[in-house]
Amino acid sequence: MRNYEKEMAEGCRGVARVDAFRASLVLLCFGFVGLLSSCNYVAPEGEDSWQNYVDGGMFVTASPSLSPIGDRMVYASACTGHGDIYVMNGTSVGPVRLTHNDDFEASPMFTPDGKRIVFAREHDKFRHVWIMNSNGSHESQLTQGATLDDPQSLSSDGRYLLFSRSLWTGGLGRTSKMYLMRIDVVAGKSIHVGDIAILSPDSRFVIYSDAGELWRLELDGKERNRRRIYGTGWPTDTSEDGRLILIMRPIAGKAWTGEEEIWVLDTVTKSEKLLGIGHSATLFGANRDNVLFLAGADQIPYVTTIDGGMTKRIDCPSGYKTSVSASWDGRGVLVGSYAAGQRSDSSVIFIDFEGLRATTIASIACDGSTFRSP
């Protein structure tokens, strides 16, 4: 499952981290972690997320995530005054609160079996990744240390977690690194996987960028087999065999404005093609013959073929877009949307790859939230 949102608020890219879409992906000061409304923001004592909201920023880590069959949606909300995790289904009267303490919690995502939820918890200056059952029971801390950690994506087999990490002395508005952890074993160790990383759809490997160069790490249980592959840039998605990779690069000759060049690389023929200009929320469609991306100041969704031959705009409600994540079944993506002037209330839009249409499936608000399965 990918989440292309998480770490800062859209805008700053001089940081090499992953707010990249599978995020990871391309550090766009987005939100998978981040609730930063400005990359110039440096929070006191390491509290980058909640303090930014208190100071007037947007709560951009609601991070809505669908269960594998799409009957439930988990998300974070600022309504309790400190950030908590909620779940909704299409038959309940309203949302069910899963976390009940004074810590800040955000960036939730379902595991591929729908039985557990991974999320971020901020406590005593630091933020770590936690996991709990889908009903809120049996919470367990996955990451440790004097760090700011945020979940980015889970492998489709449920064994691996990709998360971003930065030291609180640096602040989330600065450089973060990506780490890979086994979560199907007790005390799973984490290993560094560059600046931006993505998991393959079949959970067999990781593609990551280190100092702009692309690498491949085989997930064979030992995680020792790394090799340099063709291409440069920040990866956002890959085909199952790893032959095709979507990457983002700065627009040549221009100052960074929040958008970048979108390229598709063929690692076998060592060829590449420019598909367009857009934000880092960029990924392949379910059958890998088209690509979804957001573009323009209004972050309008577009779909283009991998040969760049056809680009279609998808009509979508206006608003600041964040929290982009792919559905487990590959049918489409979820996008959080904030209307002008809104800081915590938002809507959730489902973009269908096959029908090429956008539908509002949820409303998140302190005075009442609703959800219907896409």
* pLDDT tens string 299-336: 888 889 888 778 889 988 888 887 788 888 888 888 88
Q: Does residue 34 sit within a domain? A: no
Q: Does residue 84 sit within a domain? A: yes
DSSP-based three-state secondary structure for 51: helix
What integer best gives the mean pLDDT of the chain?
A: 81
Residue whose structure tokens are 């990918």: 2
Q: Per-residue confidence at 199, pLDDT binned at 50, 70, 90?
A: very high
Whether residue 178 has pLDDT greater than 90? yes
DSSP tag of 45: G
The structure's pTM equals 0.85
Residue 127: partners with Cβ closer than 8 Å, 6 or more residues away: 46, 48, 49, 104, 120, 121, 147, 148, 149, 150
Q: Does residue 54 sit within a domain? A: yes
Q: Does residue 158 sit within a domain? A: yes
The two counts, helices (H) then strands (E), for the chain are 1, 29
Q: Does residue 365 sit within a domain? A: yes
The answer to whether 341 and 348 are in contact (CB under 8 A) is no
Domain limits for position 240: 44-371
Return d(Cα 347, Cα 369) in angstroms, integer. Answer: 9
The answer to whether 35 and 49 are in contact (CB under 8 A) is yes
Q: Does residue 25 sit within a domain? A: no
Q: Does residue 18 sit within a domain? A: no
Report helix, strand and coil shares of the chain as percent, to nearest 5: 0, 45, 55
Return d(Cα 348, Cα 350) in angstroms, integer. Answer: 7
Q: Does residue 208 sit within a domain? A: yes
Q: What's the number of domains the chain is made of?
A: 1
342: how many CB neighbours lie within 10 A of its CB? Answer: 16
CATH number at residue 130: 2.120.10.30
